[in-house]
């Protein structure tokens, strides 16, 4: 399909045009290239924040304390909540004049943002929703990883006079790596595919500033019914996602220090 010129609306049947669609997305369509860059940027931003925050939270909560069960319950709520509904709530919270987000900022003395209503901040505001939803996943996986760590290396390090920070850097992180890499891998794959919240909250706007590949593709296919071209984009998106997964898997294998 990606090798055809295929409009659903037109009367002409699909026409074979070879690799024309691919050369168009590779060389002739700046909008697609920008969308790819935006998708990758969104993913890196969101997943990096989630990993750091999630790891920090896991380290904090990795002990016996009153309210562990409550914490775990709270952690899974954002992950199972319907993205469409969450997007809707964030749209209302982000409202530049009536939204609670700007009110809270003004309470702590910060100047208001225009969040998803400005082309400068829209992508960040969307990434923030993703971080809100998925940081707990990294935290839960890291917590499970921490719980399975052996005690002996820490005792040895303590006897050898290593600081807490050194113990974290040289023992905890390397031992936690496998679990963490898988978590990041799955998060990255899903972040690259993010569609619901973006479509609900901005539809790619304002002025295409949050138009990721998913949104562009969806509009090409189901607003303009340009199915052939959209298919070639879908193949390209799949290649990006697959490439990202392969890179991450490779990183996990080779750099096991």
Torsion of CA 154, 159, 163, 166, to 10 degrees: -50
* By the rule CB under 8 A, 84 interacts with other proteins: yes
Residue 242 interacting with other proteins (CB under 8 A): yes
Half-sphere exposure of 4 (CA within 13 A, CB side): 10
Do 48 and 126 meet the contact criterion of CB atoms below 8 Å apart? no
Kindly write out the interface string for residues 206-225 of this chain, putting x where it contacts other proteins by CB under 8 A and - elsewhere.
--------x--xx--xx---
Question: Hey, which residues does 226 pair with through a beta bridge?
Answer: 7
CA angle (146 as vertex; 140, 147 as ends), nearest 5:
90
Please answer whether residues 3 and 17 qualify as being in contact, where contact means their C-beta atoms are separated by less than 8 angstroms: yes
Distance CA 182, CA 175 (A): 13
123 is an interface residue for other proteins by CB under 8 A = no
Q: Would you count residue 173 as binding other proteins (CB under 8 A)?
A: no
**Is residue 119 at the binding interface for other proteins, with CB under 8 A as the rule?**
no
CB of 28 to other proteins, least distance (A): 21
User: Rule CB under 8 A: which residues touch other proteins?
Assistant: 1, 53, 57, 60-61, 65, 67, 69, 71-86, 88-93, 97-98, 100, 103, 132, 136-137, 140-141, 144-145, 148, 178-179, 182-183, 186, 189, 192-193, 195-196, 199-200, 214, 217-218, 221-222, 227, 230-231, 234-235, 237-238, 241-242, 245
């Amino acid at each position: 399909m990606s090798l055809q010129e295929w409009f659903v609306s037109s009367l002409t049947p699909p026409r074979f045009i070879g690799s024309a669609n691919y050369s168009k997305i590779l060389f002739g369509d700046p909008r697609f290239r920008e969308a790819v860059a935006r998708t990758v940027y969104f993913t890196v931003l969101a997943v990096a924040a989630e990993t750091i925050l999630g790891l920090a939270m896991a380290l904090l909560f990795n002990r016996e304390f009153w309210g562990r069960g409550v914490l775990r319950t709270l952690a899974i709520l954002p992950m199972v909540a319907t993205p469409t509904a969450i997007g809707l709530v964030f749209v209302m919270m982000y409202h530049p004049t009536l939204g609670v987000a700007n009110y809270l900022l003004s309470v702590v003395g910060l100047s208001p943002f225009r969040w998803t209503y400005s082309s400068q901040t829209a992508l960040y505001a969307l990434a923030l929703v993703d971080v809100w939803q998925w940081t707990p996943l990294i935290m839960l996986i890291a917590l499970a990883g921490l719980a399975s760590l052996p005690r002996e290396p820490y005792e040895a390090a303590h006897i050898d006079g290593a600081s807490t920070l050194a113990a974290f850097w040289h023992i905890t992180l390397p031992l936690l790596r496998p679990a963490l890499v898988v978590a990041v891998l799955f998060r990255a794959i899903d972040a690259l595919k993010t569609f619901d919240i973006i479509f609900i909250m901005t539809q790619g706007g304002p002025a295409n500033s949050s138009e990721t590949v998913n949104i562009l593709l969806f509009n090409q296919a189901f607003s303009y019914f340009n199915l052939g071209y959209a298919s070639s984009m879908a193949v390209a998106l799949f290649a990006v996602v697959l490439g990202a997964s392969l890179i991450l898997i490779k990183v996990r294998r080779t750099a096991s220090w």
